Amino acid sequence: MTLRWFRLPVWWLLACLLQGCTATHVTPQWQVQGVQRISHSAGQNAATYFELGKFYQARGQLVLAAEAFAASIALDPQQLAARNALAVLDARQGRLEQAATALLVLVRDYPEAAQPLNNLGYVYYLQGELAQASSMLEQAMARAGGTALARNNLQLVQAAQLALVPAAPAVAVAPEALAEIEIINGNGIRGMAAQVRVRVQARGMAVSRLRNQPGFRQERSQILYAPGHARQADALRQALAQRGEAMQLVAVAGLGRSAGIRLILGRDQA
């Protein structure tokens, strides 16, 4: 069996993973070219490809991450981890229907697992299917290890439900694609952007890049969002407010560089 893979030597990437390679305070500029076909070797198993997928995902290289997760699934089609990770990548790139279908199958295959229930609930929330989202998240809260994250997502769903006018007829809510988030260090505290990236990614949100603001003169933290990303920007604001005052939301016409949300860290986060 052969798989599409990368011109970067697989042994080199695996060596990085085993040695605990991590991102520094700025995102490394990996140079990746094309694809080629390689055969499995003794060290290339489902778990190895899953770790390689996480390696790429942490660096925002979602296409490469998806290929690694797909390779892991090809070697172990019944596993939970890579199937869940690939569904989350689909959701991040706006393929909400495809993600929901894959997660629904996972829920049926692993009825006691909290993670696919929580992720499916969040996808339903983004699709505007609030009743289904609430059901999935309540089930996730009842599973071991799913309480905290599912509770936070359920609060988002309940807030959206309360915002609806009871007497008004049901209105279809347009799906909202998951935005990639740009994090800017505006206060000069070394490593803060990288720390916040870990918290953001733990919420299942993609971080496209980190950078510093010239002069570090940002007084108050802000979340800027482009059209179509209001709900995810509010979800990000509520997630970060757990450790301090809620950040200001600012709607903008566009952000460039394909980022849908820009998080600027100010001195109020010091």
Domains, the chain, ordered by start: 2-21+43-163 (1.25.40.10), 180-269 (3.30.70.2390)
The closest alpha carbon to 151, from 134, 176, 131, 130, belongs to 134
**Where does the pLDDT of residue 121 fall: very low under 50, low under 70, confident under 90, or very high at 90 and above?**
very high
Q: How far is CA 172 from the centre of its chain?
A: 25
Beta-strand relationship, 206-212 and 180-185: parallel
pLDDT of residue 242: 60
**Where does the pLDDT of residue 56 fall: very low under 50, low under 70, confident under 90, or very high at 90 and above?**
very high
Higher pLDDT, 109 or 27: 109
Q: What is the model's pTM?
A: 0.51
For the chain, give the percent of residues with pLDDT over 70. 76
46 pLDDT above the threshold of 70 = yes
3-state secondary structure 138-173: HHHHCCCCCHHHHHHHHHHHHHHHHHCCCCCCCCCC
- What is the Cα–Cα distance from 184 to 214, expressed in whole angstroms? 10
Q: What pLDDT, in 10s, does the model give residues 163-173?
A: 874 555 555 55
Mean per-residue pLDDT, 72-92: 93
204 pLDDT above the threshold of 80 = no
